[in-house]
């Protein structure tokens, strides 16, 4: 996105309520929510056990046309899983015995050597990293994350695998080494290497210099285990990743497998997985905080038992029929283009639809549609984005976690909002209330702490602002708008594996800006910015004589 276009997208940020804008990062109202504003809508009463159980405490359910996102609950447990968990809950068992029985059965079902149930895929990554670092030695185990004196403390990542979930690996206290080429990988492997971590999302995992197969050719002779994070993938039998050289592959239980949302499975090397179980609850150690209930063990096993029996082709045909129903409902709306895609690939495999239109024709953007769907009943989670290069906007629908009958609700809702007449928005912006160029001291109030930030507005071109933002540990470009006394500015702090979105929305009064700091997935904070005076010290600079030291250094 061009800089000017990026600044203009700030006009989509409301002064209250959830945040949206014209990039994919801002296109999910359920992930960018103003918690204070959301709480105003709660009318919690006594919990009523029945069909309206969520509404009874003031929470409105969502039709999920997005994906198996944790922020809206993952997926829906299979009926077989629910029944298995129901039969499991009245009984007590010895947890080690349960883990061994389930581990063996998972191996039989999947063709892997062994299986391990964890409290979600991320917990599995943590436990397996711990296993690779400690080698099953309990004296080492109880010292994690203090790895002082350990023989194996390094974990190697190809750069494409530095993702938000690598916190699960870093929580163990390991040293992360990031590599870009096979040569760097070979040089990075040493007696200190505990394992190599790979994420299956990017194409680089499947092909290219640092694909799984190429990495395995380097890692296997050095006896370095390879951990693959395939959390949102379908389960292949025999397992495609293990066949190509992975030592262990980890899946989320609450995504494609439709088991318990707070569980996951890892498949592969039995000895490492037994050490991973040793490092998890109920054992006393670094994994005690990742507890798996006995019902979740059974529920996860029931999900895999059901997976191997499911008619996946029939299910995918049903998904396509839902999208065709939606398409038939909306096809006559002017300006729109409908693209229906059959399920493909391994990651988040589902049938999907993209509806694209010219926002200058319909006078509404995909982000605005997503915002409307998020706020109003029936609430529907959809994807949205705007392409500034092509001048189009779109919404997207994924079918994996839709339920029968929801296709009609979604089709009607899309038809109603896109077929109605929307007023053209004015490009006119209110004259700025003042010149705010210069330095600002920003006091940020988090839920239970404070921070001091700095903002420098280097250029104010009418309504457009440009400068930089200094956070607690960061410095990044800042862009924004000022309309009257209303100011909106944003910056984006990026590090390998993570990014933090900062959106300042406030009101200018008497050289002070007060308002809300939106933090994307990290909720919101309050801020107060006050103009600061920076006086440059004017000092003559003398250069040392040619060929002589500066006398002040003598």
Using the predicted structure, report yes or no on whether residue 326 has a pLDDT greater than 70. Answer: yes
Which residue has better confidence, 172 or 6? 172
How far apart, in whole angstroms, are the C-alpha atoms of residue 302 and residue 296? 9
Q: Where are the domains of the chain?
A: 3-72+312-419, 79-307, 438-532
Q: Which two tokens stand for residue 166?
A: 């690598």
Q: What is the pLDDT of residue 38?
A: 60
Q: What is the pLDDT of residue 3?
A: 42
Q: Which CATH number fits domain 3-72+312-419: 3.40.50.300, 3.90.1150.180, 3.40.190.10, 3.30.420.10?
A: 3.90.1150.180
Using the predicted structure, report yes or no on whether residue 27 has a pLDDT greater than 90. Answer: no
CB within 8 Å of 221: residues ≥ 6 apart: none
Q: Which two tokens stand for residue 404?
A: 């029968």
How far apart, in whole angstroms, are the C-alpha atoms of residue 359 and residue 425? 11
pLDDT in tens, 74-112: 999 999 999 999 999 999 999 999 999 999 999 999 999
Q: What is the pLDDT of residue 4?
A: 43
How far apart, in whole angstroms, are the C-alpha atoms of residue 513 and residue 530? 7
3-state secondary structure of 40: helix
Q: What is the pLDDT of residue 546?
A: 62
Q: What is the pLDDT of residue 495?
A: 87
Beta strands in 16-162 (DSSP E): 62-64, 114-118, 154-158
Average the pLDDT over each of 14-28, 39-53, 167-181, 328-342 and give the range with the smallest value: 14-28
Q: Which two tokens stand for residue 153?
A: 């403390």
Which residue has better confidence, 30 or 113? 113
Q: Which two tokens stand for residue 343?
A: 């399920």
Q: What is the pLDDT of residue 388?
A: 84
Please give the C-alpha separations between residue 344 and each of 90, 256, 289, 316, 351, in angstroms, as whole numbers: 41, 14, 36, 10, 8
Average pLDDT, the chain: 90
Q: What is the pLDDT of residue 540?
A: 83
Average the pLDDT over each of 6-20, 174-188, 202-216 and give the range with the smallest value: 6-20
Using the predicted structure, report yes or no on whether residue 9 has a pLDDT greater than 60. Answer: no
Contacts 24+ apart (CB under 8 A), 89-97: 89/294, 89/295, 91/294, 92/294, 93/294, 95/282, 95/294, 96/277
pLDDT band at 32 (very low <50, low <70, confident <90, very high): low
pLDDT in tens, 496-541: 888 899 999 999 999 999 999 999 888 899 999 999 876 667 788 8
Using the predicted structure, report yes or no on whether residue 422 has a pLDDT greater than 50. Answer: yes
The predicted model gives 178-185 an average pLDDT of 98
Enter the DSSP assignment of 156. Answer: E
Q: What is the pLDDT of residue 222?
A: 97
3-state secondary structure of 34: coil
Classified by CATH at the fold level, domain 438-532 comes out as: Lipocalin (2.40.128)
pLDDT band at 20 (very low <50, low <70, confident <90, very high): very low
Using the predicted structure, report yes or no on whether residue 33 has a pLDDT greater than 70. Answer: no
CATH architecture observed for domain 79-307: 3-Layer(aba) Sandwich (3.40)
Residue 476, classified by CB atoms within 10 Å of its CB into exposed (0-12), middle (13-18) or buried (19+), is middle
pLDDT above 90 coverage of the chain, percent: 80
pLDDT in tens, 237-279: 999 999 999 999 999 999 999 999 999 999 999 999 999 999 9
Q: Which two tokens stand for residue 267?
A: 């498949």
Using the predicted structure, report yes or no on whether residue 228 has a pLDDT greater than 80. Answer: yes
Using the predicted structure, report yes or no on whether residue 134 has a pLDDT greater than 50. Answer: yes
pLDDT band at 285 (very low <50, low <70, confident <90, very high): confident
Tell me which residue of 373, 429, 419, 382 sits closest to 401, measured CA to CA.
382
Using the predicted structure, report yes or no on whether residue 342 has a pLDDT greater than 50. Answer: yes
Q: What is the pLDDT of residue 269?
A: 98
Q: What is the pLDDT of residue 1?
A: 40
Q: What is the pLDDT of residue 34?
A: 60
Q: What is the pLDDT of residue 553?
A: 53
Which residue has better confidence, 405 or 19? 405
How far apart, in whole angstroms, are the C-alpha atoms of residue 530 and residue 524? 20
Side by side, the strands of the sheet bearing 226-229 are 114-118, 264-268, 248-252, 226-229, 193-199, 154-158, 175-179
Cβ pair 469, 476 in contact under 8 A? yes
How far apart, in whole angstroms, are the C-alpha atoms of residue 395 and residue 408? 17
pLDDT above 70 coverage of the chain, percent: 90
Using the predicted structure, report yes or no on whether residue 220 has a pLDDT greater than 70. Answer: yes
Tell me which residue of 322, 333, 312, 225 sits closest to 271, measured CA to CA.
225
Q: Which two tokens stand for residue 388?
A: 């500034």
Cβ pair 442, 360 in contact under 8 A? no
* pTM of the complete model: 0.88
Q: What is the pLDDT of residue 40?
A: 62
């Amino acid at each position: 996105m061009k800089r000017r276009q990026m600044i203009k997208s700030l006009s989509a940020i409301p002064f209250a309520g959830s945040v949206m804008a014209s990039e994919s990062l801002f296109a999910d109202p359920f992930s960018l929510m103003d918690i204070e504003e959301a709480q105003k809508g709660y009318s919690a009463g006594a919990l009523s056990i029945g069909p309206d159980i969520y509404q009874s405490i003031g929470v409105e359910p969502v039709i999920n046309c997005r994906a198996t996102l944790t922020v809206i609950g993952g997926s829906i447990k299979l009926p077989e899983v629910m029944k298995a968990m129901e039969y499991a809950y009245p009984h007590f068992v010895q947890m080690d015995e349960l883990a061994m029985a389930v581990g063996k059965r998972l191996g039989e079902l999947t063709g892997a050597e062994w299986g391990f149930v964890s409290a979600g895929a991320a917990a599995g990554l943590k436990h397996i990293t711990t296993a690779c670092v400690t080698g099953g030695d309990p004296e080492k185990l109880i010292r994690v994350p203090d790895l002082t004196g350990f023989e194996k403390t390094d974990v190697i990542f190809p750069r494409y695998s530095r993702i938000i979930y690598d916190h699960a690996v870093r929580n163990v206290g390991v040293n992360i080494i990031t590599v870009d080429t096979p040569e760097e990988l070979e040089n990075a492997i040493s007696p200190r290497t505990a394992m190599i971590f790979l994420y299956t999302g990017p194409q680089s995992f499947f092909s290219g210099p640092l694909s799984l197969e190429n990495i395995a050719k380097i890692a296997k002779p050095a006896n370095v285990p390879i951990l693959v994070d395939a959390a949102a993938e379908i389960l292949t039998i025999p397992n495609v990743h293990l066949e190509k050289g992975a030592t262990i592959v980890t899946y989320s239980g609450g995504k494609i497998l439709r088991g318990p949302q707070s569980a996951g499975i890892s498949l592969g090397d039995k000895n490492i997985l037994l050490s991973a179980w040793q490092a998890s609850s109920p054992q006393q150690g670094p994994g005690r905080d990742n507890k798996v209930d006995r019902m979740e063990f059974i529920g996860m096993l029931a999900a895999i038992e059901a997976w191997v029996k499911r008619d996946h082709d029939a299910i995918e045909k049903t998904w396509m029929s839902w999208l065709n129903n939606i398409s038939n409902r909306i096809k006559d709306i002017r300006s729109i283009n409908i693209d229906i895609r059959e399920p493909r690939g391994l990651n988040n495999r589902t049938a999907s639809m993209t509806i694209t239109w010219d926002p200058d024709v319909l006078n509404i953007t995909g982000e605005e549609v997503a915002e409307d769907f998020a706020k109003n009943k029936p609430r529907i989670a959809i994807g949205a984005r705007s392409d500034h290069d092509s001048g189009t906007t779109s919404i997207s629908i994924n079918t994996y976690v839709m339920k029968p009958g929801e296709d009609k609700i979604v089709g009607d809702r899309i038809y109603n909002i896109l077929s109605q007449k929307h007023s053209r928005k004015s490009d006119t912006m209110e004259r700025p209330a003042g010149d705010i160029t210069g330095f600002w001291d920003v006091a940020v109030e988090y839920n239970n702490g404070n921070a001091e930030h700095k903002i420098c507005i280097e250029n104010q071109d009418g309504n457009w602002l440009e400068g930089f933002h200094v956070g607690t540990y960061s410095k990044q470009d800042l862009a924004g708008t000022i309309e009257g006394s209303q100011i909106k500015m944003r910056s984006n702090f990026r590090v390998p594996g993570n990014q933090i979105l900062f959106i300042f929305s406030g009101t200018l009064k008497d050289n002070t800006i007060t308002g809300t700091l939106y933090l994307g997935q990290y909720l919101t904070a309050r801020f107060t910015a006050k103009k600061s005076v920076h006086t440059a010290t004017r000092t003559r600079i003398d250069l040392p004589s040619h060929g002589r030291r500066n006398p002040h250094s003598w």
